[in-house]
Structures are given as structure tokens and as C-alpha cells.
Amino acid sequence: MGEATTLRRALTQATQRIATVSDTPRLDAELLAAYALGCSRETMLLARLDDLAPAGFEMLVERRLTHEPVAYIIGSRAFWTIDLLVGPGVLVPRADSETLIEAAVDDFGGRAPACILDLGTGPGTLLLAALAEWPAATGLGVDASAQALDYARRNGEALGMAGRVTWALGNWTAGIDGRFDLILANPPYIGTGEVLPQEVTGHEPAGALFAGADGLDDYRRIIPDLPRLLNPDGIAAIEIGHEQGDAVLALVEAAGLPARLVRDLGGRPRCVVAG
């Protein structure tokens, strides 16, 4: 890109290049350009396309061409109604996971959960989104990764929720007492033999992705404890792989809880609601 290249032209060129590594090349290019400009994507698209391409944009594109996730490059990811700080060592929040929040909102209707547990909280994705949805609620976020919990704490502080949430280093439900109105969980559910894109396996933590040969190991640890952790009128919303619906439904029913399947916006099974 020459010095006189406009941002509009630079975006077109970057989109063509990023298309070799991404299914969303134009969006990726726009997010990287807005980051380089130091403004929102919306502001850039409305008012900055005829500016010169920003310094540093080319370097960001080169990083994307190595399959580095956009969220790692720009250091944040939008999820539900909030923005989260993310980086190496944490799972990148995905839009599919919003299905869990949607399912909980549908289930609670006009009422609100008072206490929320997030198992495998990562950078606080599901818990902080839920606390944003229900401003009077408090929560506990548990993760086995101290690095992930550091991001979660920073996100809680940035969102003004530090006083409403407790973060704990732990192994799923082990050592947790008390009962909760809403339990959220996005455990690893990829089978160890499954092939994932280089963007995922080359950058995101394996411990947040893989769960035994059939991808069900962590469900087998979490689900039997749900009856003792849920309040009588509480629910758990658990993310699943799109081929795991029957298996996870069976585990929930074996634990003595009613269960239903919720599909994501693409029509794929994405969430099991227990309780």
C-alpha cells in the first residue's frame, strides 16, 4: 500500500488478502482498520473512508494473515451488550455463545436471577453479559486458568461490576457451596481427534477446547452436581457442540433434571437448558 492510498482502497485490498485465511475478510479488515485509526468501526465507515490508510494497518493485516485471531490483535471482542478484553491464553468469545444468554432471558421472563454461577468463565464472557442483563444480580466466576481469571477481573473492573462478582480459581464444581438461580457453562467440548482451523489450534488454549475422545468429559464432571447447586426454580444453560445434543440431554436427565434443547441463530443445537 502506497502512502497516498485511501482507507477505502486499502480496505478493498486487505479484504482480498484476508480472504485466504478468513470467512469474514471484510469485517476483519474493517475491525483492524478501525483499531489502527483509534475509533469505532461505525465512525470509520461513516466518516473516515476517504482518509489516508492509517499507519500500522498493513502490519495488522500481516498478523491476520498468520491466522492470529482478530480479537487477539486488537485486544477486545464484542459479546452480547458488552465489550471484553481478550488476548493469548483465553478463549475468544463467540456469537454462538450468546444463545445461552438468550435462553436464560427467555426462561426468566419478567423475573431476574439474584445469584449466578459461571463455570469455566474464561475472560468473564457469560457471567459479565448476564450481570449486564440483570443489574441487581451478583455472580461467581470459576476457571482453572489464572491467566483467564486475570482477564475476567480486568473486564469486571472496566465494566464497573467488580463489586458484584467474585472470581475463583477452581476445577468446575469442586468446593462450591450454596445454590444459584442461574448456572452458565461453556466447557470444552471438542473431541481430541477433531480437526480445527489453524486460527483456533494455533492460538487459543487447548485446555479450553478439548475434552476427551468424544468431547463429553467435562459435561460428565459438571452435570451430576447441578441438582445440588441449583435453587428449586433455577436453571442451568450449558453450551454444546452441534452434534452433542442427545448425549448432553441424556446426562441431564440421568441427573434427575428436566432438559430442553435450544438452537442458535443458524438453527444448530447450541445449548441445553437444565432445570
Assess whether pLDDT exceeds 60 at residue 122: yes
Digit-coded pLDDT (tens) for 144-202: 999 999 999 999 999 999 999 999 999 999 999 999 999 999 998 887 767 667 777 77
Grid cell in block for residue 272: 441445553
Nearest to 244 by CA among 270, 221, 226: 270
Q: Domains (ranges, CATH) in the chain?
A: 7-66 (1.10.8), 80-274 (3.40.50.150)
Say which range, 4-8, 41-45, 171-175, 262-266, has the weakest mean pLDDT: 4-8
User: pTM for this structure?
Assistant: 0.92
- State the pLDDT at residue 4: 66
3-state secondary structure (DSSP) of residue 15: helix
Assess whether pLDDT exceeds 80 at residue 211: no
- State the pLDDT at residue 2: 43
Assess whether pLDDT exceeds 80 at residue 26: yes
Beta bridge partners, 237, equal 184, 273
**8 Å CB contact between 120 and 187:** yes
What kind and span of H or E run contains 238? strand 230-239
Assess whether pLDDT exceeds 90 at residue 252: yes
What secondary structure does DSSP assign to 71-138, as a single string? HHHHTEEEETTEEEE--TTSPPP-GGGHHHHHHHHHHHTTS--SEEEEET-TTTHHHHHHHHHSTT-E
Assess whether pLDDT exceeds 90 at residue 210: no
3-state secondary structure (DSSP) of residue 37: helix
Assess whether pLDDT exceeds 60 at residue 267: yes
| Distance between CA atoms of residues 7 and 181, nearest Å | 49
Phi and psi at residue 227, in whole multiples of 5°? -60, -35
Q: Which residues contact 141 (CB under 8 A, 6 or more apart)?
A: 118, 121, 124, 127, 149, 152, 165, 166, 167, 168
Average pLDDT, integer, range 238-267: 96
Assess whether pLDDT exceeds 70 at residue 206: no
